[in-house]
Amino acid sequence: MTDTATRPAEPAIRPIRFVLNGAEREVAGVSPTTTLLDYLRGPERLTGTKEGCAEGDCGACTVLLCEHDGAGGLTRRSVNACIQFLPAMNGRAIETIEHIGRNGPTPLQTAMVENHASQCGFCTPGFVMQLHAGWLTGALTDRQSVKDAIAGNLCRCTGYGPIIEAGLEIADEPVPDTGAEDAALSARLAQLEGEGVFSYASDGHRWFSPTSVDELADTYAAHPDAVLVAGATDIGLWVTKQYRELPLLIDISHVRDLKVIEEAAGRVYFGAAITHREAREVLAGIHPDLGEMLRRFAGTQIRNAGTLGGNIANGSPIGDLPPCLIALGGRIFLRKGDDLRIVALEDFFIEYGKQDRAMGEFVAAIEVPRLADNQRFFAHKISKRFDSDISAVMAAFCLTFEASGEDVIVAEARLAFGGMAGVPKRAKAAEAKLVGRPFDADAAADAMAAMAEDFSPLTDMRASSEYRLKTAQNLLKRFQLELAGEASGRIAGMGPETLDMAPIGGAS
Show contacts with another protein in window 260-319 (CB under 8 A): none
Least distance to another protein from the beta carbon of 107, Å? 11
* Candidate list 20, 74, 81, 164; residue touching another protein; CB under 8 A: 164
C-beta neighbour count of 212 within 10 angstroms? 16
Answer for the pair 340, 436: CB distance below 8 angstroms, yes or no: no
- The answer to the question of residue 161 lying near another protein (CB under 8 A) is yes
Which residue's CB is nearer to another protein, number 125 or number 271? 125
Which residue's CB is nearer to another protein, number 42 or number 436? 42
Total residues contacting another protein by CB under 8 A comes to 97
Alpha helical stretches, state H, 247-316: 276-286, 288-297, 300-305, 308-313
Binding to another protein (CB under 8 A): which residues in 25-44? 31, 34, 38, 41-42
Least distance to another protein from the beta carbon of 228, Å? 23
Contacts of 387 (CB under 8 A, 6+ apart): 151, 152, 296, 299, 493
Binding to another protein (CB under 8 A): which residues in 171-200? none
Answer for the pair 489, 480: CB distance below 8 angstroms, yes or no: no
C-beta neighbour count of 461 within 10 angstroms? 7
CA distance 297 to 283: 13
Which residue's CB is nearer to another protein, number 223 or number 477? 477
Which residue's CB is nearer to another protein, number 66 or number 164? 164
C-beta neighbour count of 159 within 10 angstroms? 18
Part in contact with another protein (CB under 8 A); list of ranges 116-124, 268-276, 325-333, 439-447: 116-124
Least distance to another protein from the beta carbon of 205, Å? 12
CA distance 37 to 59: 12
CA distance 441 to 487: 13
Edge to edge, the sheet with strand 393-404 lists 375-382, 393-404, 407-418, 425-426
| Number of alpha helices (DSSP H) and beta strands (DSSP E) in the chain | 18, 20
Least distance to another protein from the beta carbon of 380, Å? 8
- The answer to the question of residue 105 lying near another protein (CB under 8 A) is yes
* Candidate list 20, 94, 112, 332; residue touching another protein; CB under 8 A: 112
- The answer to the question of residue 489 lying near another protein (CB under 8 A) is yes
Which residue's CB is nearer to another protein, number 82 or number 332? 82
Least distance to another protein from the beta carbon of 477, Å? 6
Give the chain's radius of gyration (CA, Å).
Answer: 24
Which residue's CB is nearer to another protein, number 266 or number 489? 489
* Candidate list 47, 75, 145, 400; residue touching another protein; CB under 8 A: 47
Binding to another protein (CB under 8 A): which residues in 199-238? none
Say whether 411 sits in a helix, a strand or coil: strand
- The answer to the question of residue 442 lying near another protein (CB under 8 A) is no
Answer for the pair 114, 83: CB distance below 8 angstroms, yes or no: no
Which residue's CB is nearer to another protein, number 149 or number 365? 149
127 membership: H or E segment, kind and range: helix 124-136
Binding to another protein (CB under 8 A): which residues in 74-103? 96-98, 101
- The answer to the question of residue 118 lying near another protein (CB under 8 A) is yes
DSSP code of residue 87? G
* Candidate list 314, 376, 474, 483; residue touching another protein; CB under 8 A: 474
Answer for the pair 430, 450: CB distance below 8 angstroms, yes or no: yes
Binding to another protein (CB under 8 A): which residues in 368-427? 382, 384-390
Say whether 257 sits in a helix, a strand or coil: helix
